[in-house]
């Protein structure tokens, strides 16, 4: 990826993260694959929870972290949503046993620890990397990278003033 594939956003606190996740989700459509990256506890599930609540139009929907179940499926008006967490995946082959390839048809996917299924990630996946701000406890940087230029254009049009890296 080079800089023209990348947008960077600065988030001050969890409330702003929730708002960003909603604004981001508004641009999604079936078959988008969102690779959620970042260190343990940085906020990947928090972002996905807000996105799923928004897409399902249910602000109080319970969205547990799927660390042990590997994935959870939600029915949103726009598409089926899959929230996966592959931290505990023992081998890439294990996803096949989950019926993964049938499940993901026309779905919107949010995958935490996508590094563990790197070989089967679509080339046009959208990487959302959340990075801690060492100076402010609740602040984060969100680095978005993708070869899906149509999506990147949608995002930079939505946030014209925050595009620090164009
Ligand atoms: N700006 C922020 N964005 C997201 N989470 C935040 C923010 N500020 C504080 N937090 C807190 O950080 C924690 C993030 O936990 P979360 O489970 O979302 O991380 P994770 O990246 O999914 O971890 P894991 O790698 O274990 O799956 C939560 O307790 C949340 O309240
Ligand atoms: Mg998580």
Specify the higher pLDDT residue, 81 or 93.
81
pLDDT tens figures, 26-71? 999 999 999 999 999 999 999 999 999 999 999 999 999 998 889 9
Residue 166 domain flag = no
Element (H, E) at 126: strand 126-132
Banded pLDDT at 166 (limits 50, 70, 90): very low
Give the Å distance between the CA of 116 and the centre of ligand 1: 20
Asked whether the whole model's pTM tops 0.85, one would answer yes
| Within a domain: 165 | no
**Residue 23 within a domain:** yes
- Domain of 84, CATH number, reads 3.40.50.300
163 in a structural domain: no
Query: Does residue 151 fall inside a structural domain?
Result: yes
The answer on pLDDT for 162 being more than 60 is no
Confidence of residue 134 (pLDDT cuts 50, 70, 90): very high
In a domain, residue 50? The reply is yes
- Note down the domain range covering 128: 3-158
Atom of ligand 1 nearest to the CA of 38: 21
Give, using CA atoms, the residue closest to atom 16 of ligand 1: 43
Asked whether residue 95 is domain-assigned, the answer is: yes
Residue 164 lies inside a defined structural domain of this protein: no
pLDDT(1) > 60: no
Task: Let me know the angle formed at the C-alpha of 2 by 32 and 24, rounded to the nearest 5 degrees.
Answer: 35
Give the ligand at the shortest distance from the Cα of 40. Answer: 1
Nearest residue to 7 (alpha-carbon basis) of 161, 152, 147, 154:
152
pLDDT score, position 161: 63
Query: How many structural domains comprise the chain?
Result: 1
Are the beta carbons of 141 and 133 closer than 8 angstroms?
Answer: yes
Q: Which residue has the higher pLDDT, 151 or 93?
A: 151
As for ligand 1, residues whose beta carbon falls within 6 Å of it are: 11, 13-14, 17, 38, 40-46, 65, 85, 112, 138, 140
């Amino acid at each position: 990826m080079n800089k023209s594939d990348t947008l960077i956003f600065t988030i001050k606190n969890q409330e702003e993260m929730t708002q960003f996740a909603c604004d981001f989700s508004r641009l999604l459509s079936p078959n988008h694959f969102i690779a959620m990256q970042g260190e343990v506890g940085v906020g990947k599930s928090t972002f996905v929870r807000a996105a799923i609540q928004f897409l399902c139009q249910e602000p109080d929907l319970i969205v547990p972290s799927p660390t042990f179940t590997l994935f959870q499926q939600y029915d949103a008006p726009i598409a089926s949503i899959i929230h996966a967490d592959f931290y505990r995946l023992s081998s890439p082959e294990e996803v096949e046993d989950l019926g993964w390839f049938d499940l993901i048809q026309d779905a919107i996917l949010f995958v935490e620890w996508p590094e563990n299924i790197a070989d089967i990630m679509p080339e046009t996946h959208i990487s959302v990397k959340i990075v801690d701000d060492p100076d402010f406890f609740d602040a984060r940087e969100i680095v978005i990278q993708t070869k899906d230029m149509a999506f990147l254009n949608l995002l930079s049009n939505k946030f014209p003033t925050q595009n620090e890296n164009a």
